[in-house]
Amino acid sequence: MVSKEISCTALVQEKLDLLKQNKYHTVNSLLEETALELASKVDSKIANGEKIGLLEGIPFGIKDVYMVQGTYTTASSNLLKKYKSPYTATAIQKLVDAGSIPLVKENCDSFGHGSSSENTIFGAVKNAINPALVGGGSSGGSAVNVAKDFTTFSIGGDTGGSIRQPAGYNKVYGFKPTYGRVSRFGLMAYASSTDCVGPIAKSIEDIRIVLNIMSGKDVKDQTSYASEEILEEEISNASAIKTVGYFKNFIESKAISSTIKEDFLATIKKIKAKGIKVKELDFFDADMLVSTYYTLAMAETASNLSRLDGTNYGARIEGENLKDTYSITRSENFSEESKRRIVGGNQVLSQGFSDEIYLKAQNLRDQISARFTEDFHQVDIILSPVTPANPPKIGESLQDPLAMYLSDAYTVGFSLGGLPTLTIPKGTSTGLQITADQKKDAQVLQFANFLNDIL
């Protein structure tokens, strides 16, 4: 743009047109007016010879679970179909302050509940590579928009894999930072103890730039922390990475597709050939990770969504009395999948069950985190596939929720550990997942650059 090959307004208009015409069901609402206004401001700055920042004028997309003042924020649900945000999420505000231009609120699984972006009132998101397949989830619209160049980058949300898995399904990069690196303020809460804000983009460099802008302590999110900027030089050389580990039982699981397994092991060979030590690690059974994650995620979402009862928020449907009103509003306006989770979550939190189930899951989570800590005494990076199988056809996952939960086997563990983890679109048909110890986000990007060079 600075070279004046294309004006910012023309770029934004081009993307808006692509989004409008697209048949992948990625758009919940367009932010056309503000986007064009912001673009013309950038053009005037350029015309006046003013300096513009790295992200200035760059159009981006936002998963429709982020508050952006004055915009519909629906969480792809009937309940919030008409809800408008009264304020803007911290991460989004930082991007806007840096000059990026929000274009679109993106389709996703309702409240982040899902792994396919079919649990939405806006129509199932179609895969960017093969539209008969799912877009992945829950940040499916965001990953497809990036893959199709409808947005330059998009901001997804990742509770148990929702950035990494759709990134893998659509062959782009998707990063879940260390829990707390980016403020969650203004991200609609799914499971607060694992919810993370992160970028989806087409290069590691774009991931780095966007991550740097969004990171930092925020008084509005007590779990956020101050972090150092990640510099380009710092991640261009991976010589500090000496040992890479992988979980044997992920690869030996019955659920993994044979080609994903073969491709993964071929990657391991290439890494060894570069003189990096590779260690097989023993870890919890993948099914156990899934059950621990879903127990906690359901408990937290039941609690977080209890406020959506049609009184302060949401489309109220009047009943005979107050209790009736709550019950009809929630029964009619939540999706099947969200109701399954709310009922499940309330069950595991209820008296008589919570010690047996919820507290047990908490305890397992502590054990999982402790194991990660031990593992990272032995290895610098953990490498894994993103998913055990290729994306399903549209319609398949809806028939078998348990199979859908199990397809999250490789992503949810790292969420429970609060670890930084990145999907790169290489190595297997649904990508590779690079994970480092907490707060070592730079190391993840470093190893991603290295893998990019050798794969």
The catalytic residues are: 63, 138, 162
- Smallest gap from Cβ 405 to ligand GLN, in A, equals 7
List residues binding ligand GLN (CB under 6 A): 112-115, 138, 158-162, 190, 297, 408
DSSP string, 193-253: TT-EEEEEESSHHHHHHHHHHHBS-BTTBTT----PPPPTGGGT--TT--EEEEEHHHHS-
- For residue 182, give both structure tokens: 């980016």
Contact predicate 326/309, CB 8 Å: yes
- What CA–CA distance (Å, rounded) separates 10 from 291? 49
Residue 37, SS3? helix
Nearer to ligand GLN, 76 or 227 (CB): 76
| Residue in the shown chain whose Cβ atom is closest to ligand GLN | 162
SS3 content of the chain, % helix, strand, coil (to 5): 40, 15, 45
- For residue 36, give both structure tokens: 């064009």
Residue among 436, 248, 284 nearest 363 (CA): 284
Nearer to ligand GLN, 162 or 430 (CB): 162
How far is C-alpha 315 from the geometric centre of its chain's CA atoms?
Answer: 27
Q: Give alpha helix (H) positions in 68-181.
A: 90-97, 140-147, 164-169
- Smallest gap from Cβ 412 to ligand GLN, in A, equals 7
Nearer to ligand GLN, 112 or 431 (CB): 112
Residue that is written with structure tokens 């406020």 in the block: 307
- Smallest gap from Cβ 51 to ligand GLN, in A, equals 38
Pairing of strands 421-424, 153-158: unpaired
Cis peptide before 138 (omega within 30 of 0): yes
Residue 14, SS3? helix
- Smallest gap from Cβ 159 to ligand GLN, in A, equals 3
| CB neighbour list of residue 394: distance below 8 Å, 6 or more residues apart | 116, 118, 124, 126, 132, 133, 134
Amino acid identity of residue 436, one-letter, is A
Residue that is written with structure tokens 């305890």 in the block: 363
Nearer to ligand GLN, 34 or 390 (CB): 390
**Residue 363: how many other CB atoms lie within 10 Å:** 11
Nearer to ligand GLN, 9 or 178 (CB): 178
- Smallest gap from Cβ 325 to ligand GLN, in A, equals 28
Nearer to ligand GLN, 141 or 161 (CB): 161
Nearer to ligand GLN, 235 or 297 (CB): 297
Contact predicate 392/134, CB 8 Å: yes
- Smallest gap from Cβ 164 to ligand GLN, in A, equals 8
Nearer to ligand GLN, 293 or 326 (CB): 293
Residue among 99, 101, 120 nearest 109 (CA): 120
- Smallest gap from Cβ 297 to ligand GLN, in A, equals 5
**CA distance readout (Å), 306 to 191, 222, 231, 309:** 13, 22, 42, 7
- What CA–CA distance (Å, rounded) separates 120 from 117? 7
- Smallest gap from Cβ 168 to ligand GLN, in A, equals 13
